[in-house]
Amino acid sequence: MKLAVKSITFVALAAVLLIAGYWWGATRPSTSAANASGAVSADGKRERKILYYRNPMGLPDTSPIPKKDPMGMDYMPVYEGGESAFADAAVKISIDRIQKLGVKTEQVSMRALTRTVRAVATVQADERRLHIVAPRFEGWIERLHVNTTGQAVRKGDPLMDVYNPDLITAQHEYLIARRGTKDVEDGGLEVQAGMERLTESALQRLRNWNISEADLQTLRQEGHIRQYLTLRSPVNGIVLDKSLIQGQRFMAGETLYRIADLSRVWMLADVFEQDLVMIHAGQTATIRIEAYPDEIFTGEVTFIYPTVNPETRTASVRIELPNPQELLKPAMYGKVEFVSIQREARVLAVPESAVLDAGTTQSVLMDLGEGRFEPRLVKLGKHANDYVEVLDGLKAGEMVVVKANFLIDAESNLKAALSGFGRSSQDLMPGEARERSQVAPGSSGTVPTVPLPPSPSSSMSHRGEGVIEAIGVANTTVTLAHGPIASLSWPAMVMDLKVLNPALLRTLKPGQEIAFEITEASPGEYVIVRIQSQDSAAARQGKKH
C-alpha cells in the first residue's frame, strides 16, 4: 500500500514540473520582447529611453548624464524617438531683419595660414664688434688725440700719446742690439745669429705692449728713442666710452676707451613665450624704428636666447641687420614683425569672427539660404592672422556668418529655450516683436513676449484689441500693447506692426485704446488693414444692433 502511494505522489510531482516548464517556456519570448522595447512601469505604461541631456538654453552642448549649466538650470532629457524635435536648431530671419542686423557671411575655403608675431625691440651694438683699449703697462697720458665720447675713429688712428720708462728702456735695448748686429757682421755666423735674436726680442717686447707696427717701423727707420709712444685704434667705429683725461695716470689693464663698430648691429626683440614656436633661425624680420617712421629695415633672426624673463614671460630674439649709414644707434626703440607660415599646405579655414566660443565647445552659424541659419559644432586647430583652421565640422564652399552672429545665436538660443517649455520649434517666428514683459490689457500678471507664430492662413484677417504705445509716422508703424489673439494663438505682447494705409494714422494718438484687424502680407509678416478707437468700434457695433 505504501509503495502505491509513493508511486502516485511521484507521478503527480512530475506532472506539475512538466506543466510549469511548459508555461515558463511559452512566456519567455514575450518577456524578452518587452525588455527589448523598453522598460515597463508599474501602471503598465512603457517608459521612454533617455538618449542624452541637452543644454536648457539651446547651446550646442549635450551630456550623457544629468547636470546643470553655469546658471544652475538642469539639462533637459532627450528621449528615444523625440530627438528630431530638437535636432533642428535652425532659426529663420526675415530679409529686413538680416539687413538691419548687418549680417555678413563668408565662404569656407582652403588657404595657407600665415601668422604675424609682433614684438618690441631695442638696437644693440654687435658684441663681436665691440673693442676696448686697455694698455698692458702703466703710464701717464701726455696727449689725447681722441678726447670726446661719440667721436668716430678709423683703424690705426692715434688715440693718445703715453709715457712709460719701460718703453724707453725697450727702445734703447733694441737700438743697442741692432748696433751690435752691425758690429759683428765680420764675425762668425753663430755670433751674428745671436745678435739678431737679441734685436728681434727687443722688438717683440714692444709688440707685447701693443705698440703698433707703424711705430715700430718708425723706430727702425729713424733709429732714435721716442720719449712718448702712441696708442692707436684697433678698429673702425664710434667711441662709446672714454674714462680718462689728459695728464692722468693709468694702470695696466685699465679700460681707457670702448669702441664699437656700428656698420652692423643687433635688434634684441622681446617675444612672448607662447609665440616662440613661430620663430626660428634664418627667419626674416621687418623692423620699424620710432625715429624713422618712413623707413623699413629688414634683418635676419640669428639666435633665440635660451632663457625666459620670469617677470615679463618673454625671451630675447637676436636679429642682425646691416647699418651702413649708421642710422641705427644703440638703445633705439623699435617694433619687429615676424611673418610665419603655419603650414606649407593649404588648410580649411574660417575667419575668427565666425567662431562662437562657449569655453568647452566652439561653433559657427551656417547660412542655409532664404534667411535660415543653423549652429554647428566645429573642431578648431591653429590660429593665424584673423583666421583659424577647421579640423572637423565644415566643408569647403559652405557659408558661415562672420558678423552679427552673436545676435542670431541669441535668437536661436531663445527659440530652443522656449521649445523646452512645451512650444514647438516650428511655431516660432522671428519678427519685429520687442521681447519684453508686458501686462496684457484686461488681464493680470506679466506675460513674456515671444516671437509671433505664423498665421494658419495668409488670406484671413485676425481681430485684436490693445493700447497704442507709439506711432511711427515716417515708416507708418504702430507700437501696440495688445491682448491675446485667439485665432493666431498669440499671447499678449508688445510689438511693432506696419499700417497698410497711412491715412489710418491721422486719427490715432499714443495711449488710445483701439481695435484692429491684421492679415499676413508675406510669410511671417503681418500688417494692419483696419484700426479704430474702441469708442468708434462700440458705436458702430451699436448701430448694427
How far apart CA 199 and CA 203 sit, in angstroms, is 7
Buried b (16+ CB within 10 A) or exposed e, 2-23: eeeeeeeeeeeeeeeeeeeeee
Domain ranges of the chain: 1-44, 50-87, 91-113+345-419, 122-126+261-341, 135-254, 431-544
Task: Give, for 114, the enclosing helix (H) or strand (E).
Answer: strand 114-125
Neighbours of 400 (CB within 10 A): 23
State the cell numbers at 531: 484700426
DSSP state of 107: E
DSSP state of 487: G
Nearest to 495 by CA among 522, 521, 523, 464: 464
Pick the CATH number of 135-254 from 3.40.50.720, 2.40.30.10, 2.40.50.100, 3.40.640.10: 2.40.50.100
State the cell numbers at 306: 635660451
Burial environment of residue 480 by CB neighbours within 10 A (0 to 12, 13 to 18, 19 or more):
buried
State the cell numbers at 454: 505664423
Q: Give the global pTM.
A: 0.47
State the cell numbers at 350: 574660417
SS3 190: helix
Q: Residue 525 phi/psi, 5° resolution?
A: -120, 120
Give how far Cα 533 sits from Cα of 130, 190, 446, 537, Å. 94, 139, 25, 6
Decide if 273 contacts 158 (C-beta within 8 A): no
Nearest to 334 by CA among 268, 274, 263, 238: 268
What residues are paired with 498 via a beta bridge? 477, 527
pLDDT at 153: 92
How far apart CA 348 and CA 356 sit, in angstroms, is 17
Neighbours of 411 (CB within 10 A): 20
Please determine whether the domains at 135-254 and 431-544 fall in the same fold group of CATH. yes
Burial environment of residue 345 by CB neighbours within 10 A (0 to 12, 13 to 18, 19 or more):
exposed
Query: Under 8 Å CB-to-CB from 377, ≥6 apart: which residues?
Result: 60, 361, 362, 363, 393
Query: Under 8 Å CB-to-CB from 106, ≥6 apart: which residues?
Result: 350, 351, 354, 399, 400, 402
Instruction: Give the torsion through C-alpha atoms of 290, 296, 300, 303, to 10 deg.
Output: 10
pLDDT at 264: 93
Burial environment of residue 502 by CB neighbours within 10 A (0 to 12, 13 to 18, 19 or more):
exposed
Q: How many CA atoms lie within 13 A of 367 on its CB side?
A: 21
Task: Give, for 228, the enclosing helix (H) or strand (E).
Answer: none
Pick the CATH number of 431-544 from 3.50.50.60, 2.40.30.30, 2.40.50.320, 3.40.50.300: 2.40.50.320
Decide if 371 contacts 98 (C-beta within 8 A): yes
How far apart CA 142 and CA 163 sit, in angstroms, is 7
In the β-sheet with 249-250, what is the strand arrangement from edge to edge? Answer: 229-232, 158-163, 139-144, 249-250
Decide if 284 contacts 300 (C-beta within 8 A): yes
DSSP 130-188: EEEE--SS-EEEEEES--STT-EE-TT-EEEEEE-HHHHHHHHHHHHHHHHHHHTTTS-
pLDDT at 285: 93
| One-letter identity of residue 518 | I
Residue identified by cell 718703453 is 167
| pLDDT tens-digit profile, the chain (545 residues) | 455 545 565 555 555 555 555 555 444 444 333 344 445 545 555 566 787 787 665 555 677 888 877 656 677 777 765 544 444 456 777 777 777 777 888 888 888 777 788 999 999 999 999 998 988 888 899 999 998 998 999 988 999 999 888 888 888 888 887 777 776 666 667 766 777 788 778 788 888 887 877 778 888 777 778 888 888 888 899 999 988 888 889 998 889 999 999 999 999 999 999 888 889 999 999 999 988 988 999 999 999 999 999 999 999 999 999 999 889 999 999 999 998 765 567 788 888 888 888 777 888 888 888 778 888 888 888 777 788 888 888 888 898 888 876 666 665 555 554 444 444 333 333 333 333 333 333 333 333 333 333 333 345 788 888 999 888 877 788 888 888 888 887 888 888 888 888 777 777 888 888 888 888 877 667 888 888 887 654 555 554 44
Backbone Cα Rg of the chain: 48
pLDDT at 445: 36
Give how far Cα 1 sits from Cα of 7, 10, 15, Å. 10, 15, 22
SS3 322: strand
User: What is the Cα 510 distance to its own chain's centre?
Assistant: 50
How far apart CA 163 and CA 229 sit, in angstroms, is 7
Decide if 365 contacts 354 (C-beta within 8 A): yes
Task: Give, for 411, the enclosing helix (H) or strand (E).
Answer: helix 405-419
Tell me the CATH number for domain 91-113+345-419. Answer: 2.40.420.20
CATH architecture of 122-126+261-341: Beta Barrel (2.40)
